[in-house]
Structure 1
Amino acid sequence: MKKVKVYFNRWFSVAYHYMNAIRNNEDGIPFEIYATHSDPEHMALQASDVAEVEPCTSGVEYVRFCADFCRRHEIDVFIPRWNMLDISKHIHWFDDIGTKVIVCRDTELLEQLMEKDLFYESIRQKDIVAIPDYAIASNAEQFKEAYESLAARGHKVCFKPCNAEGGMGFRVIDNERNPLEELFGHALNHISFEEAHHVLSSTESFPNLMVMELLEGYEYSIDCLADREGKLLAAVPRRKAGGRLRLLEQHTELLDVAHKIADAYHIPYNYNIQVKYNGERPKLLEINPRMSGGLHVSCLSGINFPYLAVKSALGNEVGPLYPQYDILASHIEQPITIRKSLH
């Protein structure tokens, strides 16, 4: 049987698990995994069969590189992370060579999902799930006004760049910090208002920051799998349960949120909804239009999220699916030998 060729561009290290999940699929379909990254020794390359170093380029030129890579290697399915929006805008380049791309083709929706303030306004209008109180700041005075307004409403305050991934740039404003204790303890993502304002005042403007209420309840990632048209096939709420523990939970309220978001936006393939509770009320943090960093944990539910997205992209029917819930999981490091450098 001919091997199906799947290509990952510049992914996180956890792509190592996604590649193996596709390779070890339940249907016994043979795969050949291709990967590129700017770091020739990156972990994302180590589970691939064929690896190359990416050029130092961006935007349209980077999309040209990806399209050429797919053409040269006759790639069947491309799973992008880096430069998703530009890739979606030039999806016809991949259509022309017969490569299926696991990406949202609705570029307006994709741009909203990647810019948190844009998506917050969209979700607010649909009344699907609550959003945190927030304001946007692009200069120090706006930051000060946003902080003072939120604090006056009784909120603890945090901030994060509008287009950041994961925890990049996230800070909690904490005016009760003890620098000496921090010096001898664990590094924290806390900063006082005065420190933050001083740093932000050093420049006339900066990329948009979302200044928002700090949510202190349970945090959930809802890993979702949809077909090519965005019909939801499976959803697994995954809760941070302390330290490295994660609980895959059959949470009726959050499963309902997942279905409502799927019905409203039709996001295809793999995506991730992040919510956090404020008391008894869940509030949306963000939606990532890609496989999440913890998706390999949600695969313990019996749903092979990476493989089933590829299966759907190839035009095959997926489902019905029945995730297993109430699974407490964790992870440990495992040493591996890095293969010969691509330098």
Structure 2
Amino acid sequence: MDNLTVLVTGSGAPGIKGTLYSLQNNFDHRKIRTVGTDIRKDAVGRYLCDSFYSIPRPNSEDYLSSLLSVCKKEHVAVLLPQNTAELSILARHKQEFEDLGTAVAVSDAGPINVANDKGKLLAVAEEIGLPVPRFFRADKMEALLAYARRLGWPEKRVVVKPPVSNGMRGLRIIDESLDLKRSFYEEKPTSVLLKMNDLQNILGESFPALLVTEFLPGEELTVDALSAGRLTVVPRTRDRITSGITFDGTVKEDRSVIDYSERLSRKVCLKYAFGFQFKLDGEGRACLLESNPRIQGTMVLATFAGANIIYGAVKHALGEEVPDFEIKWGTRILRYWGGLGIREELLCAL
């Protein structure tokens, strides 16, 4: 089988090592040369990928031309995006990459527009009968307060978050029972918990639209999925989460979550590698929260479990058939902090 070059964007992301592991340990035993890109010049991908380029931010007018230039120079066969902010741009400009011989493993622009917007996605899920938390959209504090009261605040927690964001950016849980003094002394300053008065002081009377949703008290589940002629759906628990990243999780054969994910994937027309987030409500039902229409940070767990979704996306982008996977349910990931020791003459990895 031919060797090939794969470009991975966002190569400074926490999940880059898992992405590279999945490419290097592919089920075809294919030799893959990796090119990393990132907005930071000293991103870890510089030391992990075979080649590396610092490129402008996706909202820069030079972003697209810079990425096209890298693909042309490196003879990139497949581009794998890991950065939410660039997905819409790449989806709209696929043809320009294809003209260079580079396949972009991202869904089309319409599906990306829906999947990237939590409000639009929840509306579609509700339309096809999937469980979702009650949700509203507000861009004024008066409306936000009114919706929060409809959801049971101040007696109950409510959640606010931007419709389009990733990595927990903008997520806050409004909790009037919060003991701020205890939190000050006992917790690291990374909590998402907040009182409504604090939120008002931050946002003011008007702001870019936010979703206001009911708080779901149960465990979180992530789904890693691949649409490549057939659908592969691998749910996993998130038993310990640090800064939005799963540090302890297990692949779980949850038939209802698999069914929900299959139905929603087909309705939205998502392709290649992507994921969904679910959370259990008070009755134990898995309710949809959001989608990541790209490689997810702990998608390597699916690889460990026998379903190399990341390399499957590469094969599908090349027009090659992807086999059925035999998923080893119960496979667990236990993440730890690693690092690189960098000297001029030596690179040491933990």
In the superposition, the TM-score normalised over structure 1's length comes to 0.91
**Residue type at the aligned position of 1:109:** P
Residue matched to 1:10: 10
Residue matched to 1:314: 318
Out of 111, 127, 132, the position equivalent to 1:109 is 111
Seen in structure 2, the aligned counterparts of structure 1 residues 67 and 305 have a Cα distance that, compared at 3 Å, is same
Please, which moves more after superposition, 156-165 or 257-266? Answer: 257-266
Deviation at 1:155, TM superposition (A): 4.5
Please, which moves more after superposition, 165-174 or 58-67? Answer: 58-67
Please, which moves more after superposition, 256-265 or 184-193? Answer: 256-265
Residue matched to 1:186: 187
Mark the runs of 5 or more structure 1 residues left unpaired by the alignment. Answer: none
**Residue type at the aligned position of 1:44:** G
Residue matched to 1:248: 251
**Residue type at the aligned position of 2:6:** V
Residue matched to 1:96: 99
CA contact (8 A) 1:144 1:197 kept: no
Please, which moves more after superposition, 283-292 or 39-48? Answer: 39-48
- Does 2:260 match 1:257? yes
Distance 2:2 2:331 in 1: 36
Distance 2:192 2:87 in 1: 28
Residue matched to 1:235: 233
Mark the runs of 5 or more structure 2 residues left unpaired by the alignment. Answer: 242-246, 346-350
Please, which moves more after superposition, 188-197 or 42-51? Answer: 42-51
Deviation at 1:171, TM superposition (A): 1.0
Residue deviations 1:204-227, cap 9 Å, x none?
A: 532211111011112100111121
**Residue type at the aligned position of 1:257:** Y
Deviation at 1:249, TM superposition (A): 0.8
The within-5 A match list for 1:112-261 is 112-127=114-129, 129-151=130-152, 155-187=156-188, 188-201=191-204, 205-227=206-228, 231-232=230-231, 234-242=232-240, 244-261=247-264
- Does 2:296 match 1:292? yes
Distance 1:240 1:118 in 2: 25
Distance 1:44 1:237 in 2: 27
CA contact (8 A) 2:132 2:287 kept: yes
Give the RMSD, CA atoms, in angstroms: 2.1
Please, which moves more after superposition, 216-225 or 298-307? Answer: 298-307
CA contact (8 A) 1:245 1:329 kept: yes
Please, which moves more after superposition, 318-327 or 144-153? Answer: 144-153
SS where residue 302 of structure 2 aligns? helix
Distance 2:337 2:329 in 1: 24
CA contact (8 A) 1:13 1:42 kept: no
Seen in structure 2, the aligned counterparts of structure 1 residues 166 and 97 have a Cα distance that, compared at 3 Å, is same
Distance 1:161 1:264 in 2: 23
**Residue type at the aligned position of 1:24:** N
Deviation at 1:94, TM superposition (A): 0.8
CA contact (8 A) 2:94 2:103 kept: no
SS where residue 334 of structure 1 aligns? coil
Deviation at 1:339, TM superposition (A): 7.0
Distance 1:33 1:284 in 2: 34
In the superposition, the TM-score normalised over structure 2's length comes to 0.89
The within-5 A match list for 1:318-333 is 318-333=322-337
Residue deviations 1:116-169, cap 9 Å, x none?
A: 111222222222x11111111112222212212212697520111111103111
Structure 1 residue runs of 4 or more that deviate by more than 3 Å after TM superposition:
152-155, 338-341
Seen in structure 2, the aligned counterparts of structure 1 residues 152 and 2 have a Cα distance that, compared at 3 Å, is closer
CA contact (8 A) 1:16 1:43 kept: no
Deviation at 1:263, TM superposition (A): 2.9
Deviation at 1:55, TM superposition (A): 2.9
Distance 2:290 2:160 in 1: 14
SS where residue 104 of structure 1 aligns? coil
Residue matched to 1:302: 306
Residue deviations 1:305-340, cap 9 Å, x none?
A: 211211121111111211110223312222323476
SS where residue 71 of structure 1 aligns? helix
Q: How many percent identity over aligned positions?
A: 22
Distance 1:108 1:26 in 2: 32
Seen in structure 2, the aligned counterparts of structure 1 residues 143 and 324 have a Cα distance that, compared at 3 Å, is same
Deviation at 1:265, TM superposition (A): 2.7
Residue matched to 1:36: 37
- How many aligned residue pairs are there? 334
SS where residue 206 of structure 1 aligns? strand
**Residue type at the aligned position of 1:254:** V
Deviation at 1:112, TM superposition (A): 1.1
CA contact (8 A) 2:46 2:52 kept: yes
